[in-house]
């Protein structure tokens, strides 16, 4: 459990650092730095084999890489416009809906309604309001997060250890390069920007995945999924501490509703699977 919590904290503080880096390298430039550095680390660490795989295996890798690049690009576009806690809460609807669909139980409708209630609170006009474009980016990132979960499981069945993830990360890095170069240009090779981008990659990709991998040796997958429901709350905390993004009571209540709905949906899905 401590490893999972460490991974959650690492991801959200990595996202906060990414937001601070946007003025230097743009949101898409930071995505490129994150994916390229993470891909290099994973490729060196795993040294994946590229022979002996069929067309279906490589199609899965390409789809996984597209999901990785798209999910990160859309999410960073979202946090460039709306608070981190709000972005992660809206993005988390993707995995939540996936859990509800996989559960196929009437109780799941309750969790879905609870989550939608949380989103409705975000939709209310606050002090500054919530940028609709940023919210749309977060929701789109959530759809790709759901696709990422499905493709990650499929990749894990086709490739040993972290080989599939390393190859997919390399595909995502290659896809992000043109956009990163177009928006950030020579800023991507600035030593300070490179160093901060490497820190974002380690905090947001390499370290969390490693901690989750270690945790799954003793923690059931269902337990990991429930703990991942703490992501929106962790994001709101990181946004407050690092980015000075204070949320009002309606937004805090919205995050709480989505967290409770996520825990309930994951537990319902786990009960349906065991039954």
Distance CA 33, CA 37 (A): 6
What local confidence, expressed as pLDDT, does residue 127 receive? 38
pLDDT band at 274 (very low <50, low <70, confident <90, very high): low
Q: What is the pLDDT of residue 213?
A: 66
Q: Over the stretch 25-80, which tens digit does the pLDDT of each residue have? A: 999 999 999 999 999 998 998 888 888 888 889 999 999 999 999 999 999 999 99
Helices (H), the chain: 2-25, 27-46, 55-79, 84-91, 93-103, 106-123, 132-158, 163-184, 191-201, 207-215, 221-228, 231-243, 249-274
* Extents of the domains making up the chain: 2-274
Taken as a whole, the chain contains a residue count of 275
Residue 170 — pLDDT band, cuts 50, 70, 90?
very high
Rounded (10°) CA dihedral 68, 201, 157, 73: -10
pLDDT above 60 (res 270): no
pTM of the model: 0.81
- Residue 90 has what pLDDT? 85
Residue 125: predicted pLDDT: 43
Predicted local confidence at residue 126, as pLDDT? 42
How sure is the predictor about 266, in pLDDT bands with cuts at 50, 70 and 90? Answer: low
Average pLDDT over residues 244-266: 73
């Amino acid at each position: 459990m401590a490893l999972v919590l460490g991974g959650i904290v690492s991801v959200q503080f990595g996202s906060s650092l990414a937001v601070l880096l946007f003025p230097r390298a743009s949101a898409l430039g930071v995505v490129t730095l994150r994916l390229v550095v993470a891909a290099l680390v994973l490729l060196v660490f795993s040294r994946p084999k590229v022979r002996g795989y069929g067309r279906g295996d490589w199609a899965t890798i390409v789809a996984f890489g597209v999901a990785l690049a798209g999910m990160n690009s859309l999410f960073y576009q979202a946090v460039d416009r709306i608070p981190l806690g709000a972005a992660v809460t809206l993005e988390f609807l993707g995995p939540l809906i996936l859990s509800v669909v996989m559960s196929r139980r009437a109780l799941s409708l309750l969790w879905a309604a609870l989550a939608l209630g949380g989103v409705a609170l975000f939709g209310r006009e606050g002090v500054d309001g919530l940028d609709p474009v940023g919210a749309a980016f977060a929701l789109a990132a959530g759809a790709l997060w759901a696709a990422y979960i499905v493709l990650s499981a499929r990749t894990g069945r086709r490739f040993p250890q972290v080989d599939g993830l390393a190859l997919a990360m390399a595909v995502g890095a290659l896809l992000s390069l043109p956009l990163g170069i177009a928006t950030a240009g020579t800023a991507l090779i600035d030593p300070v920007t490179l160093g901060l981008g490497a820190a974002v990659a380690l905090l947001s990709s390499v370290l969390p995945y490693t901690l989750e991998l270690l945790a799954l040796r003793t923690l059931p997958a269902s337990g990991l999924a429930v703990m991942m429901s703490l992501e929106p709350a962790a994001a709101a905390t990181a946004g407050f501490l690092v980015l000075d993004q204070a949320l009002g009571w309606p937004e805090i209540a919205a995050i709480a509703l989505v967290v409770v709905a996520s825990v309930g949906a994951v537990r319902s899905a786990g009960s349906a699977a065991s039954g």
